Amino acid sequence: MAGIPADLLFEGARLATMAGPGLGVVEQGVLAVRDGRIAYAGPREGAPRFEAAERVDCEGRWITPGLVDCHTHLVFAGDRSEEFARRLAGESYADIARSGGGIASTVRATRAADEAALLAAALPRLDALLAEGVTTVEVKSGYGLDEETERRQLRVARALARERAVTVRATYLGAHAVPPDGTRAGYLDLVCDRMIPALAAEGLADAVDVFQEGIAFTGAECARVFTAARAAGLPVKSHAEQLSDTGGAALAARFGALSADHLEYCSNAGAAAMAQAGTVAVILPGAFLMLNEARKPPIAAFRAEGVAMAVATDLNPGSSPIASLRVSATLACVLFGMTVEEVWRGMTIHAARALGLRAEAGSLEVGKRADLALWSVDSLAQVVAQIGPSPLWARYHGGVRA
């Protein structure tokens, strides 16, 4: 009797499927791929017989879902290492922002860079993520703060997916800061009345994000942005309670946000609202570390409320110049007390949810895209317990070795 046809069959693997609660470990696992999708992922015993064009003997290695970095700002020009030195000398992130540095500094450099220059600058950052097993990455705009440059950033985000074997979600973060050459009211009109509908129609943005903070936008302003996004059919996300509690998590939840991110100052009420709405908490320890913050996100409240937690790099030139999702996970464990299991789910299934990709990515389940990371380790703890050489053995995007 002939077996079931498959393009690829991984044998002798240990699987962490992330299906159901926990890691979904299968010790003696088999994974079959057909037409770029997972056709089977489970125990060898009782698996159907596959007739595979190609077989890979994993020799006991681990297969996890390809990693998902669900929060980055990796398309930008310029360098802000000087601000690192200023912070060491005692200035705060907010002081530097108010004095014309911070986001505004990257805006100046990004406006001056053409598409080719932005792409060339972004690729090495993306490559660093891919080298550690990332197969899906989110990329935000927000360093243009004008029509032309925001569009250029989003086009470069789309171009990244043509240059590399990776799925890219592009997020419009027009409400990142008030542009240096604009007024608050005029800029919000541009974001809400022109940019959001246009970008949705052009298919350049998959979601809309805001920065709700004392140094950025108020709750009322963010609510207006969310309302425009909803009208344009785009899901929303929020940079919320990073430096103070302005009720950003609860507002995001009220608009059914995919995620609220940072959250160091999130209240119990904010966590409860997120749980109710199914909004994912995206934990960003890189920014916490680099800004030398003291206030930690309320991990215990998220656990108690049943809020799904993701972990991401926040890769950007200012607050989180960290091009490693693994290191971010390590930091989430060491600095915030997340468990190994939590950060693994946070880099896979919960991160996929934070991007609205629950049906496509983040777990080893039949029908999902065959995005896989194969690891030369004895245990999954090894991947996050060390900062150093990547133990990634192979990466597959849509069933193709990448």
Please give the residue ranges that form the binding site for ligand NIG (CB under 6 A).
73, 102-103, 106, 211, 239, 242, 287, 314, 316-320
- Contact call for residue 209 and Fe ion (CB under 5 A): no
Minimum CB separation of residue 336 from Fe ion in Å reads: 17
> 58-69 in b/e burial notation, b at 16+ Cβ within 10 A?
beebbbbbbbbb
In this chain, which stretch among 77-85, 115-123, 307-315, 373-381 interacts with Fe ion, using CB under 5 A? 307-315
Contacts of residues 299-305 at CB distance under 8 Å and 24 or more positions apart, as own/partner, are 299/336, 299/337, 299/338, 301/266, 301/268, 301/271, 302/271, 302/274, 304/271, 305/271, 305/272, 305/274, 305/275
Q: How many residues bind Fe ion (CB under 5 A)?
A: 1
Minimum CB separation of residue 287 from ligand NIG in Å reads: 5
In this chain, which stretch among 30-38, 62-70, 313-321, 383-391 interacts with Fe ion, using CB under 5 A? 313-321
Are 150 and 195 a contacting pair, CB within 8 Å? yes
Our CB check for ligand NIG shows the closer of 61 and 80 to be: 80
Minimum CB separation of residue 261 from Fe ion in Å reads: 6
Q: For residues 32 and 42, give the distance between their C-alpha atoms in angstroms, rounded to a whole number.
A: 9
Q: Which residue is nearest to Fe ion (CB)?
A: 314
- Contact call for residue 314 and Fe ion (CB under 5 A): yes
Which two three-digit tokens encode residue 402?
């990448």
Minimum CB separation of residue 291 from ligand NIG in Å reads: 8
Among ligand NIG, Fe ion, none, partner that 318 touches (CB below 5 to 8 angstroms by kind): ligand NIG
Strand partners, 372: 65, 396
Question: In whole angstroms, how far apart are CA 343 and each of 11, 120, 169?
Answer: 26, 31, 21
Among ligand NIG, Fe ion, none, partner that 34 touches (CB below 5 to 8 angstroms by kind): none
Minimum CB separation of residue 211 from ligand NIG in Å reads: 5
Among ligand NIG, Fe ion, none, partner that 206 touches (CB below 5 to 8 angstroms by kind): none
Minimum CB separation of residue 260 from ligand NIG in Å reads: 12
Our CB check for ligand NIG shows the closer of 238 and 363 to be: 238
Among ligand NIG, Fe ion, none, partner that 242 touches (CB below 5 to 8 angstroms by kind): ligand NIG
Our CB check for Fe ion shows the closer of 102 and 391 to be: 102
Q: For residues 346 and 310, give the distance between their C-alpha atoms in angstroms, rounded to a whole number.
A: 4
Q: Which of 213, 208, 224, 227 is nearest to 177 (CA)?
A: 213
Are 162 and 140 a contacting pair, CB within 8 Å? no
Q: Which of 254, 326, 290 is nearest to 87 (CA)?
A: 290
Minimum CB separation of residue 2 from ligand NIG in Å reads: 53
Among Fe ion, ligand NIG, none, partner that 319 touches (CB below 5 to 8 angstroms by kind): ligand NIG
List the end-to-end C-alpha distance of the chain, in Å, as a whole number: 34
Q: Summarize as ranges the residues that interact with Fe ion (CB under 5 A).
A: 314
